[in-house]
Amino acid sequence: MSDILTPFILLPLWVLLIAFIFCILFWKYAKVQAVIALTSAAGYLLSAVWLFLAVYQDGIQVVQIGNWPAPYGITLVADLFASIMVLISAVIAFAIILYSLQDISAERKRNGFYPVLLVMVFGVCGSFLTGDVFNLYVWFEVMLVASFVLIVLGNRQGQLEGSVKYVTLSFISSGFLLTGIAILYKLTGTLNMADLSEAIAQHPDPELINLATVFFLVGFGIKAALFPFFSWLPASYPTPPISVVGLMAGLLTKVGVYALMRFFTLLFTYDLPSTHSLLLVLAGLTMFFGVLGALAQRDFKKILSFHIVSQIGYMIMGLALFTPLAIAGSIFYIVHHILVKTNLFLISGIVKVTQGHYLLSKLGGVYDRYPYLTLLFAISAFSLAGIPPLSGFWGKFILAKAGLEANRYFIVAVSLLVGLLTLFSMSKIWVSVFWSSAPGEAKGEFKYDSRTLFKSHYLLILSSVFLTLCTLVLSFYPEALIALSKRTAEQLLDPQIYIDAVLNNNNN
């Protein structure tokens, strides 16, 4: 690896950190902060593209911070999976910051909305790039502390209630993570992921590693909202403003999923039948109970929040099947899900702007009034439910095919059933918000018609259109991403590539 390439990995992190610092320096000037945030989001996007291209062409990029050699110092590693995640997080961050310019109240902006948002994205990006278990924990904390602030910023009663659950469960999960890290360190004497991968594979007593595996599974499971631990998500996501929810829905749980995928492909592969069967069961239960929760809800944002849970199940299902095709399906699904889910939240925010509510019973008649908004929603909603030819279909198709090839018929049946139920609960939103005529007293309460809505909230619509375009590209040209996901899956399933890139790098 040549020296000129090293800053590629750090560039996305630098951009965000410098933007954060300048937001601090211009604390009193909310408008300057907004400009800084938007510029840095664009810069982050560009640097993420650059990083991705570098990884795509030249293989895994590694940087040893402070020139300390690999198992001792902190390593930042960008393999294909990490760089895809950084890229998609940059797309979301850009759309969200664009959206937040008109969505977030001036009061919140004055109280440091943008710096905190940038720190959260900074934490997300760092968790994707780190190659060290303890460093991963630190990035998680950076991200979580920022997300605590974002959830309570504004100080409404519902926000505080949701944040108590969120903060408590996050602390518990951090405790589990730390314990897991401590156990791993005690057993193997190393924290570098590549080094750990070798140490665990050669460990004489895998039963002991099981202990660490369970701690990590619970810790990341809480963060990813896996089956028994998902209660915090629907409680805390609907309370803060849409820009915050969209960002969290898109990125936070996916960081948990990313960590699970990283750990269960690189580290905990010593006993596939037991660990990955457990994951498969959890995946099925997560899907099923998530969608059941969504069916019971009558609030736009809550339905969407429960859908996140059920979609997490699909991603974990691919990981649990552990074939190249299944992992590729998971990666495809993560990318598709982040785009679509964030977009759905953004659209729910636009509907809220027009009618002032999230309750399905108080909404209605959007199709009559705003046909274009309806089109945006339809594309994302049907993509989420997996209607061909939209992107969700390809994701589910790959996963189902992988499941059938692996002879896991039951999980495939569950996933198809859940797809059907997702469609059903989406059609509930569709019918009551978009198709039905507006409920009695709310009639005529539309604050804008189609044109004035666009005039006064063009940034909201633009960012939603931006994400919809991304979804459409994925839908009608899925080959590129499928091929990329397959390549990524091969890289993930062969830990030796990762180990060589990290450990043998210091010899040069």
Partner 1 sequence: MRTLILSTILRALTPLFISFALYMFFRGHNNPGGGFIAGLIASIPFMLHAMVFGYKRTTRVFRIRPRLLAGLGLLLALISGMFSVLRGEPYLSPVWVDEKLPVIGKVGTPIFFDFGVLLVVFGVVLQITFLLTEE
Q: How many angstroms separate the CA atoms of 387 and 174, rounded?
A: 38
Binding status of residue 29 toward partner 1 by CB under 8 A: no
The answer to the question of residue 508 lying near partner 1 (CB under 8 A) is no
Find the part of the chain contacting partner 1 (CB under 8 A) among 58-66, 137-145, 183-191, 217-225. 58-66
- Of 17 and 35, which has the nearer Cβ to partner 1? 17
* 72 binds partner 1, rule: CB under 8 A: no
* Cross-strand partners of 63: 76
Question: Binding of partner 1 at residue 6 (CB under 8 A)?
Answer: yes
Least distance (Å) between residue 499 CB and partner 1: 19
Q: Specify whether the backbone of 315 is left (phi greater than 0), alpha (psi in -120 to 50) or beta.
A: alpha
Among 7, 158, 189, 371, binds partner 1 (CB under 8 A): 7
User: Closest separation between CB of residue 77 and partner 1, Å?
Assistant: 13
DSSP code, position 74 = -
Q: Which two tokens stand for residue 366?
A: 């959007």
Q: Which is nearer to partner 1, 103 or 195 (CB)?
A: 195
At its nearest, how many Å lie between partner 1 and the CB of residue 76? 9
Asked whether position 444 contacts partner 1 by CB under 8 A, the answer is no
Residues sharing a CB contact under 8 Å with residue 369, sequence separation 6 or more, in sequence order? 354, 446, 449, 450
Contact 92, 1 (CB under 8 A): no
Q: Which stretch binds partner 1 (CB under 8 A): 21-29, 215-223, 261-269, 395-403?
A: 21-29
Binding range to partner 1, per CB under 8 A, among 3-11, 41-49, 185-193, 347-355: 3-11
Pick one of 8, 15, 16, 21: the residue that binds partner 1 (CB under 8 A): 21
CB 485 within 8 A of CB 331: yes
Q: What's phi and psi for 465, nearest 5 deg? A: -65, -40
Among 4, 57, 407, 479, binds partner 1 (CB under 8 A): 4
CA distances from 419 to 166, 230, 290, 317, 383 (A): 28, 19, 11, 14, 11
Considering only residues 387 to 426 of the shown chain, the ones binding partner 1 according to CB under 8 A are none
Cβ at position 150, least distance to partner 1 in Å: 19
**Under rule CB under 8 A, residue 65 binds partner 1:** yes
Residues in the chain: 508
Contacts of residue 2, Cβ cutoff 8 Å, sequence gap at least 6: none
Residues 6+ apart with CB under 8 A from 336: 383, 391, 392, 394, 395, 471, 474
Task: Select 179 or 506, whichever has its Cβ closest to partner 1.
Answer: 506
3-class DSSP state of 237: coil
For partner 1, which stretch binds (CB under 8 A), given 12-20, 92-100, 133-141, 246-254? 12-20
Looking at beta carbons only, is 142 or 492 nearer to partner 1?
Answer: 142
Is 399 strand, coil or helix? helix
Q: Which is nearer to partner 1, 402 or 501 (CB)?
A: 501
Residues 6+ apart with CB under 8 A from 1: 58, 61, 62, 505, 508
Among 25, 296, 375, 413, the residue binding partner 1 under the rule CB under 8 A is 25
- Give the pair of three-digit tokens for residue 38: 């938007």
Are 397 and 336 within 8 A, CB to CB? no
Task: Count the site residues for partner 1 by CB under 8 A.
Answer: 19
Instruction: Compare residues 63 and 335 and give the one whose CB is closer to partner 1.
Output: 63
Determine if 63 is a binding residue for partner 1 (CB under 8 A): yes
Cβ pair 290, 311 in contact under 8 A: yes
What is the nearest approach in angstroms of partner 1 to the Cβ of residue 181?
A: 22
Interface residues with partner 1 (CB under 8 A)?
A: 3-4, 6-7, 10, 14, 17-18, 20-22, 24-25, 27, 63-67
